[in-house]
Amino acid sequence: MTYQDIFTTELEGKTRHGARLIDVREREEYTAGHIPGAANLPLSELVGREDDIGPDTVLICASGNRSSQAAAYLAAQGKTGLMNLSGGTAAWRREGRALTQGDQP
């Protein structure tokens, strides 16, 4: 099983077509600033919560490294339709896009 790397320019189109955004950074990182609409499920809590991830999910972290680990793990568990945001929130911010602060997506 595999996953697809996507770029920030593709993210809005994916969400318009129903993709769910999951930020796998730790809670403190997430609350400090996350992509609008992203829910938090830290990588450290992913094992045992695989059923919380459905198809058409974009996994996000700060740079794309932890989210690619999460995507590879979930794909190995048989999950399909997974996407990894290449460059993560750092790329999003470099492009001048807004981040949301706090606990809610």
Structure letter (DSSP) for residue 34? B
How many angstroms separate the CA atoms of 35 and 30, rounded?
Answer: 9
Q: What is the pLDDT of residues 39-63, one digit of tens each?
A: 999 999 999 999 999 999 999 999 9
How many angstroms separate the CA atoms of 100 and 105, rounded?
Answer: 8
Q: What is the pLDDT of residues 8-27, one digit of tens each?
A: 999 999 999 999 999 999 99
pLDDT value for 1: 63
Beta bridge partners of 82: 57
Q: What is the pLDDT of residues 65-88, one digit of tens each?
A: 999 999 999 999 999 999 999 999
- Exposed / middle / buried, residue 72 (Cβ in 10 Å: 0-12, 13-18, 19+): middle
pLDDT of 105 > 90? The answer is no
DSSP H helical ranges for 7-99: 8-16, 27-32, 65-76, 88-94
pTM greater than 0.85: yes
Catalytic residues: 61
